[in-house]
Amino acid sequence: DAKTTQPNSMESNEEEPVHLPCNHSTISGTDYIHWYRQLPSQGPEYVIHGLTSNVNNRMASLAIAEDRKSSTLILHRATLRDAAVYYCILRYAGNMLTFGGGTRLMVKP
């Protein structure tokens, strides 16, 4: 999988939106952009994925740059339960996930 770059950590206030950036300048045309998160003492869980267009689901939104070299995961209203490590991962037409260091999101009450 191509490499992604994320900030090590970010802070947010509760009830405010959070924008988690991810750079993936070597992305290929067939790479899907996936986001997973890992809550403390739990296994990773799927958040959202996209290919070219922006995506929304009940958990978050994914904004993908027009050139696809970067993307942003948007949590519209952060809660304390959203404190986790967020992983941005590129996947081509294979099954494997390659996890990087992710971004540790801290949410302040």
Binding site for another protein (CB under 8 A): 30-32, 36, 42-46, 49, 51, 87, 91-102
Nearer residue to another protein within complex by CB, 23 or 38: 38
User: Do 45 and 102 touch, CB atoms closer than 8 A?
Assistant: no
**What does the alpha-carbon distance between residue 10 and residue 105 come to, in Å, rounded to a whole number?**
5
In the complex, what is the shortest distance from the CB of residue 40 to another protein, in angstroms, rounded to a whole number?
A: 12
In the complex, what is the shortest distance from the CB of residue 13 to another protein, in angstroms, rounded to a whole number?
A: 28
Nearer residue to another protein within complex by CB, 74 or 99: 99
User: Do 91 and 97 touch, CB atoms closer than 8 A?
Assistant: yes
In the complex, what is the shortest distance from the CB of residue 95 to another protein, in angstroms, rounded to a whole number?
A: 5
In the complex, what is the shortest distance from the CB of residue 94 to another protein, in angstroms, rounded to a whole number?
A: 6
* Cβ atoms within 10 Å of 21's Cβ, excluding its own: 15
Nearer residue to another protein within complex by CB, 17 or 101: 101
What is 42-57 written as a DSSP string?
A: S--EEEEEESSS-EE-
Nearer residue to another protein within complex by CB, 13 or 56: 56
**What does the alpha-carbon distance between residue 64 and residue 62 come to, in Å, rounded to a whole number?**
6
